Amino acid sequence: MSHRVSVQFFGITREIIGASTLTLDLPQPGRVGELLNSLKAQYPALSGLRSLLVAVNGEYAEPEDPIQPNDEIALIPPVSGG
Amino acid sequence: MNSAFKYVSTDEAGAITFFFGTVRNSTNSRNVEQLEYEAYDRMALKKMQEIADEACRRWNILRYVVVHRKGTLLTGEIAVLVAVATPHRADAYDASRYIIDTLKQTVPIWKKEYFDDGQVWVDAHP
Protein backbone atom coordinates (compact mmCIF):
# COMPACT_ATOMS: atom_id res chain seq x y z
CA MET A 1 0.00 0.00 0.00
CA SER A 2 1.21 3.48 -0.74
CA HIS A 3 -0.38 6.87 -0.60
CA ARG A 4 0.24 10.14 -2.34
CA VAL A 5 1.34 13.21 -0.46
CA SER A 6 1.91 16.70 -1.73
CA VAL A 7 5.13 18.43 -0.56
CA GLN A 8 5.90 22.16 -0.68
CA PHE A 9 9.37 23.57 -1.28
CA PHE A 10 10.85 26.95 -0.45
CA GLY A 11 14.09 28.85 -0.96
CA ILE A 12 17.05 26.75 -1.99
CA THR A 13 15.07 23.50 -1.91
CA ARG A 14 12.59 24.96 -4.42
CA GLU A 15 15.55 25.66 -6.72
CA ILE A 16 17.12 22.21 -6.18
CA ILE A 17 13.83 20.41 -6.87
CA GLY A 18 12.86 22.80 -9.65
CA ALA A 19 9.26 23.11 -8.43
CA SER A 20 7.23 24.61 -5.59
CA THR A 21 5.28 21.41 -5.02
CA LEU A 22 5.68 17.74 -5.81
CA THR A 23 3.33 14.81 -5.38
CA LEU A 24 5.10 11.74 -4.03
CA ASP A 25 4.13 8.14 -3.37
CA LEU A 26 4.97 7.10 0.18
CA PRO A 27 4.65 3.63 1.67
CA GLN A 28 1.73 3.39 4.06
CA PRO A 29 2.02 4.51 6.81
CA GLY A 30 4.66 7.00 5.67
CA ARG A 31 7.10 8.57 8.07
CA VAL A 32 8.92 11.88 7.89
CA GLY A 33 12.32 10.16 7.78
CA GLU A 34 11.31 8.03 4.79
CA LEU A 35 10.14 11.08 2.92
CA LEU A 36 13.45 12.85 3.61
CA ASN A 37 15.51 9.81 2.54
CA SER A 38 13.52 9.37 -0.63
CA LEU A 39 13.93 13.04 -1.58
CA LYS A 40 17.66 13.01 -0.75
CA ALA A 41 18.13 9.93 -2.94
CA GLN A 42 16.36 11.62 -5.85
CA TYR A 43 17.97 15.04 -5.32
CA PRO A 44 21.50 14.53 -3.89
CA ALA A 45 22.08 18.30 -3.60
CA LEU A 46 19.66 18.28 -0.64
CA SER A 47 22.29 16.41 1.40
CA GLY A 48 24.70 19.33 1.01
CA LEU A 49 22.50 21.71 2.99
CA ARG A 50 23.43 22.80 6.53
CA SER A 51 20.13 21.36 7.79
CA LEU A 52 16.92 20.04 6.33
CA LEU A 53 13.72 19.73 8.32
CA VAL A 54 10.19 18.70 7.50
CA ALA A 55 7.11 20.57 8.67
CA VAL A 56 3.85 18.67 9.02
CA ASN A 57 0.77 20.88 9.23
CA GLY A 58 2.87 23.90 10.12
CA GLU A 59 4.92 22.24 12.90
CA TYR A 60 8.50 21.00 12.81
CA ALA A 61 8.39 17.19 12.73
CA GLU A 62 10.74 14.39 13.86
CA PRO A 63 11.91 11.60 11.49
CA GLU A 64 9.71 9.02 13.23
CA ASP A 65 6.54 11.13 12.99
CA PRO A 66 3.85 9.66 10.70
CA ILE A 67 2.53 11.32 7.55
CA GLN A 68 -1.19 11.06 6.80
CA PRO A 69 -2.59 11.46 3.27
CA ASN A 70 -4.10 14.90 3.85
CA ASP A 71 -1.24 16.42 5.86
CA GLU A 72 0.31 19.68 4.71
CA ILE A 73 3.98 18.79 4.20
CA ALA A 74 6.82 21.24 3.60
CA LEU A 75 10.58 20.88 3.35
CA ILE A 76 12.36 23.49 5.50
CA PRO A 77 15.95 24.34 4.52
CA PRO A 78 18.05 26.47 6.95
CA VAL A 79 15.94 29.54 7.77
CA SER A 80 17.44 33.00 7.31
CA GLY A 81 14.78 35.54 8.14
CA GLY A 82 15.47 38.80 9.91
CA MET B 1 6.51 52.73 11.64
CA ASN B 2 4.03 55.43 12.59
CA SER B 3 1.13 53.04 12.72
CA ALA B 4 3.18 50.56 14.79
CA PHE B 5 4.06 53.37 17.22
CA LYS B 6 0.42 54.41 17.48
CA TYR B 7 -0.58 50.80 18.06
CA VAL B 8 1.87 50.12 20.91
CA SER B 9 1.42 53.52 22.59
CA THR B 10 -0.49 53.29 25.85
CA ASP B 11 -0.55 55.38 29.01
CA GLU B 12 0.50 52.36 31.10
CA ALA B 13 3.80 52.05 29.20
CA GLY B 14 6.98 53.45 30.64
CA ALA B 15 9.06 52.12 27.78
CA ILE B 16 8.63 51.36 24.10
CA THR B 17 11.45 49.71 22.17
CA PHE B 18 11.67 49.53 18.40
CA PHE B 19 13.99 47.11 16.64
CA PHE B 20 14.43 47.47 12.89
CA GLY B 21 16.26 44.80 10.94
CA THR B 22 17.64 46.53 7.84
CA VAL B 23 19.28 45.41 4.62
CA ARG B 24 23.07 45.72 5.03
CA ASN B 25 25.13 46.71 1.98
CA SER B 26 27.72 43.93 2.30
CA THR B 27 28.35 40.32 3.38
CA ASN B 28 31.97 39.13 3.80
CA SER B 29 33.16 42.23 1.92
CA ARG B 30 30.94 41.52 -1.08
CA ASN B 31 28.51 44.24 -2.13
CA VAL B 32 24.88 43.30 -1.59
CA GLU B 33 22.62 44.97 -4.10
CA GLN B 34 19.30 43.60 -2.91
CA LEU B 35 17.68 40.83 -0.88
CA GLU B 36 14.83 38.61 -1.86
CA TYR B 37 12.73 37.24 1.02
CA GLU B 38 10.52 34.21 0.69
CA ALA B 39 8.23 32.78 3.38
CA TYR B 40 6.12 29.74 4.10
CA ASP B 41 3.34 32.15 5.00
CA ARG B 42 0.99 29.96 7.00
CA MET B 43 3.71 28.48 9.20
CA ALA B 44 5.67 31.75 9.46
CA LEU B 45 2.63 33.59 10.83
CA LYS B 46 1.91 30.75 13.26
CA LYS B 47 5.53 30.66 14.50
CA MET B 48 5.68 34.45 14.87
CA GLN B 49 2.50 34.35 16.94
CA GLU B 50 3.93 31.56 19.12
CA ILE B 51 7.08 33.62 19.74
CA ALA B 52 5.04 36.69 20.67
CA ASP B 53 2.81 34.59 22.97
CA GLU B 54 5.86 33.13 24.70
CA ALA B 55 7.34 36.63 25.14
CA CYS B 56 4.06 37.75 26.72
CA ARG B 57 4.30 34.85 29.19
CA ARG B 58 7.88 35.72 30.13
CA TRP B 59 7.63 39.50 30.38
CA ASN B 60 5.03 42.07 31.29
CA ILE B 61 4.20 43.21 27.77
CA LEU B 62 1.39 45.69 27.32
CA ARG B 63 1.38 45.77 23.52
CA TYR B 64 3.61 44.56 20.71
CA VAL B 65 3.97 44.61 16.94
CA VAL B 66 6.05 42.14 14.90
CA VAL B 67 6.27 42.59 11.13
CA HIS B 68 8.45 40.81 8.57
CA ARG B 69 8.42 41.93 4.96
CA LYS B 70 8.97 39.66 1.99
CA GLY B 71 9.78 40.09 -1.67
CA THR B 72 12.58 42.31 -2.96
CA LEU B 73 14.24 44.76 -0.54
CA LEU B 74 17.05 47.18 -1.34
CA THR B 75 20.01 48.24 0.81
CA GLY B 76 18.88 50.31 3.78
CA GLU B 77 15.27 49.16 3.68
CA ILE B 78 13.58 47.75 6.76
CA ALA B 79 13.00 43.99 6.63
CA VAL B 80 11.79 43.37 10.19
CA LEU B 81 10.13 45.51 12.84
CA VAL B 82 9.70 44.51 16.49
CA ALA B 83 7.98 47.04 18.75
CA VAL B 84 7.36 46.28 22.43
CA ALA B 85 5.63 48.40 25.06
CA THR B 86 6.15 47.58 28.77
CA PRO B 87 5.82 49.41 32.09
CA HIS B 88 9.62 49.34 32.61
CA ARG B 89 12.45 49.40 30.08
CA ALA B 90 14.30 46.20 31.06
CA ASP B 91 11.34 44.05 29.99
CA ALA B 92 11.03 45.88 26.67
CA TYR B 93 14.71 45.36 25.82
CA ASP B 94 14.73 41.70 26.92
CA ALA B 95 11.47 40.81 25.15
CA SER B 96 12.53 42.58 21.95
CA ARG B 97 15.85 40.71 21.92
CA TYR B 98 14.09 37.39 22.56
CA ILE B 99 11.57 37.99 19.78
CA ILE B 100 14.09 38.89 17.06
CA ASP B 101 16.60 36.19 18.08
CA THR B 102 13.95 33.44 18.15
CA LEU B 103 12.36 34.67 14.93
CA LYS B 104 15.71 34.36 13.15
CA GLN B 105 16.19 30.80 14.46
CA THR B 106 12.75 29.27 13.92
CA VAL B 107 10.46 31.20 11.55
CA PRO B 108 10.38 29.70 8.03
CA ILE B 109 11.57 32.73 6.08
CA TRP B 110 14.49 32.65 3.66
CA LYS B 111 16.60 35.36 2.13
CA LYS B 112 18.69 35.37 -0.98
CA GLU B 113 21.50 37.88 -1.35
CA TYR B 114 22.07 39.38 -4.79
CA PHE B 115 25.69 40.40 -5.37
CA ASP B 116 27.03 42.06 -8.48
CA ASP B 117 28.50 38.66 -9.45
CA GLY B 118 25.95 36.12 -8.24
CA GLN B 119 23.21 35.08 -5.83
CA VAL B 120 23.33 33.10 -2.58
CA TRP B 121 20.65 31.68 -0.28
CA VAL B 122 21.88 32.87 3.12
CA ASP B 123 23.23 30.18 5.50
CA ALA B 124 21.95 27.34 3.31
CA HIS B 125 25.29 25.51 3.20
CA PRO B 126 27.79 24.66 5.97
ipTM, two decimals: 0.93
DSSP for B64-101 reads EEEEE--EEEETT-EEEEEEEEESSHHHHHHHHHHHHH
Q: Are A77 and B110 in contact (CB under 8 A)?
A: yes
User: Which pTM does this prediction carry?
Assistant: 0.94
Rounded to whole angstroms, what are the CA distances from A1 to A11, A19, A27, B50, B104? 32, 26, 6, 37, 40
Domains and their CATH numbers in chain B: 2-23+40-69+79-108 (3.90.1170.40)
Q: Which of A11, A15, A74 sits opposite B43 (nearest CB)?
A: A74
Print pLDDT tens along chain B (126 aa).
899 999 999 999 999 999 999 999 999 899 999 999 999 999 999 999 999 999 999 999 999 999 999 999 999 999 999 999 999 999 999 999 999 999 999 999 999 999 999 999 999 999
Helices B89-106/B41-58 angle, 10° precision: 150
Distance from CA of B125 to the nearest CA of A (A): 5
- A13-43 per-position pLDDT tens digit: 999 999 999 998 887 778 999 999 999 999 9
The distance of A62 to chain B (nearest Cα, Å) reads 15
